[in-house]
Amino acid sequence: MPLLSLLDIVALVWFLGSWVLYSLTLSFTEQRRRGLNSEMHTYRDVWMLQMLGREIRMVDAQIVAALQNGTAFFASTSLIAIGGALTLLRSTKEILEVVGSLPLGVQMTPVQWELKTMGLAVIFVYAFFKFAWSYRLYNYVAILVGATPPATDKDTPEAKAHAARVGGLCEVAGRHFNRGQRAFFFALGYLGWFISPWLLMATSVIVAIVLWRRQFASDSRRSLIEV
């Protein structure tokens, strides 16, 4: 029996293609179509300009701390998810019996199950690296917030350049965080492969549609652009 059937290979390519296509489409159309991420980039710039005018920047420090805490939570969750995925390798036989008895379940060899499980672990490893790097970048943002010139110099070119620098770094940190979260969402779609390749293709499309709707057709986006 081959390591992966032709249908499994097609489903895996479909899954990866959906993920990559969504990411590329979002990157190339986000600014033109004013997605939710783009709107938040604008408000990051507004935040930095407001920060320049504050003598005491406790509010800004608290915002950065909140961003760090959220990123740290997801990074820790990624490690737990990695451990959970690797734990599945210890109960391969029992799990295969359960999956094989499902209406849509297909027969798999232990090697195929372990290969799929390792793929799930790889997704969570990718997410961990994204969240960990985002957390590191937010640390740098905190340092730059502390290095912001005093409010009396807010109109100087140096102060405005510093605000743009902090906002740019904060945007990069948010971008890595978004990619980590995206990996989590597609990992949920990936779970369909454990039942059927057809289900993997269906869940891949569903995840992409849900993410796209949240970016461009959600209530949260309308609340930002409607006055």
Q: Residue 33 has what pLDDT?
A: 67
* Side chain identity, residue 37: N
Number of domains in the chain: 1
72-82: average pLDDT:
95
Q: Does a structural domain hold residue 17?
A: yes
Q: Does a structural domain hold residue 227?
A: no
Q: Does a structural domain hold residue 26?
A: yes
79-105: average pLDDT:
77
Rounded to whole angstroms, how far apart are CA atoms 52 and 171? Answer: 18
Q: Does a structural domain hold residue 84?
A: yes
Beta carbons of 29 and 212 less than 8 angstroms apart: no
144-159: average pLDDT:
89
What whole-number percentage of the chain has pLDDT above 70? 93
Q: Does a structural domain hold residue 40?
A: yes
Residue 64, pLDDT > 70, answer yes
Q: Does a structural domain hold residue 1?
A: no
Residue 223, pLDDT > 90, answer no
Helix, coil or strand: residue 214: helix
Residue 81, pLDDT > 80, answer yes
Residue span of the structural domain in which 55 resides: 6-222
Residue 104, pLDDT > 80, answer no
Which one-letter DSSP state was computed for residue 195? T
Each residue's pLDDT tens digit, 31-42:
566 788 888 888
Q: Does a structural domain hold residue 196?
A: yes
Confidence of residue 62 (pLDDT cuts 50, 70, 90): very high
Beta carbons of 134 and 173 less than 8 angstroms apart: yes
**Residue 89 backbone class (left: φ over 0; alpha: ψ -120 to 50; beta: rest):** alpha
Question: Residues near 120 by Cβ (< 8 Å), separated by ≥ 6?
Answer: 85, 88, 187, 190, 191
pLDDT, mean over the chain:
87
pTM for the complete prediction? 0.89
Q: Does a structural domain hold residue 90?
A: yes
Confidence of residue 67 (pLDDT cuts 50, 70, 90): very high
Beta carbons of 42 and 34 less than 8 angstroms apart: no
Confidence of residue 201 (pLDDT cuts 50, 70, 90): very high
